[in-house]
Amino acid sequence: DQQVKQNSPSLSVQEGRISILNCDYTNSMFDYFLWYKKYPAEGPTFLISISSIKDKNEDGRFTVFLNKSAKHLSLHIVPSQPGDSAVYFCAARGATSGTYKYIFGTGTRLKVLA
């Protein structure tokens, strides 16, 4: 049962243009959502997050949007740079019996073309 889904395995974008990465979730009790960037053979690096009480959060070139009614979040990168090429994971936090765990999607590989 995949509670967090990233349906696009890969995405190619021209340098300077906008990259939009999408993520869907099924559990309406998730209260905190995060995006991570990952290079091969390294740990994921935290990019940006958003709580369920907001619908938008910005940090420099990165903006995350949350649509709770659609159970959908997206990450916008503007402008895209070649160094942004990596695998991006979305994650959601949920509670089970008083403990909290983070569930990840399967990732989207972004390639920014120079």
Partner 1 sequence: DGGITQSPKYLFRKEGQNVTLSCEQNLNHDAMYWYRQDPGQGLRLIYYSQIVNDFQKGDIAEGYSVSREKKESFPLTVTSAQKNPTAFYLCASSGQGWYNSPLHFGNGTRLTVT
Q: Point out which residues bind partner 1 (CB under 8 A).
A: 6, 9, 32, 34, 36, 41-46, 49, 51, 89, 91, 96-97, 99-107
CB of 7 to partner 1, least distance (A): 12
Complex with partner 1: residue 42 or 114, whichever CB lies closer: 42
Complex with partner 1: residue 83 or 98, whichever CB lies closer: 98
Q: CA of 59: how far to CAs of 46, 97, 100, 106, in Å?
A: 12, 33, 25, 24
Beta pairing partners, 95? 100
CB of 56 to partner 1, least distance (A): 14
In this structure, are strands 10-14 and 108-113 parallel, antiparallel, or unpaired? parallel
Q: Is the peptide bond before 79 cis (omega within 30 degrees of 0)?
A: yes
Complex with partner 1: residue 69 or 96, whichever CB lies closer: 96
